[in-house]
A and B are shown apart, each in its own frame.
Chain A
Amino acid sequence: MSAVLAIIRRDLLLAVRRKSEVFTALFFFIIVVSLFPLGIGPEAALLRQIAPGILWVAALLATMLGLARLFAPDHADGTLEQMVLASAPLGLLVAGKIAAHWLTTGLPLVLLAPVLGLQFGLEADALGVLVVALLLGTPLLSLIGAIGAALTLGLRGGGLLLSLLVLPLYVPTLIFGAGAVEAHISGMGAGGHLSLLAALLALAVFFAPWAATAALRIALE
């Protein structure tokens, strides 16, 4: 367990020292979300209706940005090989890296989303559901994305390929995440969607670090 905490602490420290990467993803999120009203028009009712979908799609894309950098720097300077050789199980270390990735890219999105939701005229309770859904969904994005990041490690055009691999796998997260807010607005209640998101998260917490570790071992062979 201490190894996991050490990895998280190290990655957070690296992120703090290189703030620009975190802020790039965050501003990408803000800009993408702000582009939609410009493309669609300022009609308030329409914007309120499509707000959950837009915020979620933007969150998917912003998470993608950081994924290519999840293992690549450690691969380049040889840290990753030392992790494979370390006495702590590689799976735990990978889980720690995924947790750090979520803390640096997912959590800021969750905290920022309500502000952007206000721009789209979402009510306070809908914003609450949005935050809960993102809180359950963004770790899922980091977990699934880690598999793709490990598979494409060190490949030509890795970043583009990564999005091709990972985005189709994000579909259920998108559907249940955006659906939770829409269901709440339409009066059906978001409980079912949130439960399904939580179930997917539980499944991914168990399997994704394991699959990502297997993919890393293949990439390093």
Chain B
Amino acid sequence: MSDTDTALQDQAINVDTEKGNFKYPENYEFDAGVGLNEETVKYISNVKDEDPWILDFRLKALEIFNKKPMPTNWADKDLENIHFDKIRYYLSKGQQPARSWDDVPDDVKETFERLGIPEQERKFLAGVEAQFDSEASYSHMKEDLEKEGVIFVGSTEGLMKYPEIFKPYFGKVIPTSDNKFAALNSATFSGGSFIYVPKGVKLKQPLQAYFRINAENFGQFERTLIIADEGAEITYMEGCTAPKFETTTLHSAVVELVALKGAKIQYITVQNWSSNVFNLVTKRGMADEGAEVKWIDCNIGSRLTMKYPGVVLKGKGARGEVLSIALANDGQHQDTGAKMMHLADNTTSNIISKSISIGEGRSTYRGQVHMPKHLKNCKNNTECDALLINTNSRTDTYPAITTRGENNTVQHEASVSKVSAEQIFYMMQRGLSEGEAMSLAVNGFVNELMKAFPMEYSVELKRLIDMEMEGSVG
């Protein structure tokens, strides 16, 4: 790669992350200090004024977290660089999220204004929640939805105000003991969205959450639970940003989706954390009879992402889908994938994963498809395609498929390729620069998946990919 190319690429990357790369001075009213023990957990629970059962739940989770080993027998050894005793587990400026934009503290307001949130809301969203470190700083939903009985609140508020709705499903799709990081989240969770959509209510516009980490050495542990009652439909979108720090930052969320009979949930993530963030997230949906859970997952940022959204296909005819795009640049490892657990007849699942590795970036697909023996007529289709841009880029694929039963079919395909020199040459001959040609080729590679994203997101994604790609030919 020539110097000008490198400069171009740097410039491109800078432009891209500039949007999120700023921070405001830290002055927090509530701070749980550094490190994690029973006292930290009690402090968090106390600040939130929680019911005793929630504290019990947290303490039990802490015990499990301490017992569980790191999954380094199969996962990236980089996990060993997370120092749990140096992380700050709870930081907030106050408890109540502002209901009106004017009430949001100025520095937080500026943060989100720079990220364009109020603007987005005005444009097309049904509701927005913005989380700044541990707590939501702003939460707003259009009034007519409130009238229809839609609930859109933070995790604590959800559990305290509507226990009859949320408690039965809380921690049921993803049990505390599911993995070490799910246990960590269960012990320290704060913020996130608890959403309930009543029977038959179909949200025409998406609900959205923004997650922002502002403080150094911080761990963000938001908890999201979305319940779509029978026949309800909802689309939820989340975006993540953080400033670049020298030290590592941890984001470890738990997201549970419950789609009751005939309901549809679509969950869209655009993750653009800065390259010092460990992004270790557990996401799983449960689909009842005839229900549909769809994860659209786009990972561009972070140092190491480990995320395998799953669907438990519990009811007959349920459908699960994971569409995933990952972009791994220098110093990044995007370890993503999907899990499909078929537990009823006539269930279908579809996984499409596209990854792009640039420079020394590494992208990994890990998948699990499970069909036990008593099932009939289940289908799974998995496709994972990887594109390698530079000679030292890396990609891995590790699927695991178990099939039994009658008339069940599973197919898995994966391919690895590079952008062909002929393609680039052809485009350059017609007057495109090398960078433009490369961007075009890469956008073509993910184009099919891009169509699944809502308009605003696919435009944004295209732009992000353009910038990451510029000057990477060499």
**Interaction A to B:** no
Query: Which B residues are closer than 8 A to A by beta carbons?
Result: none
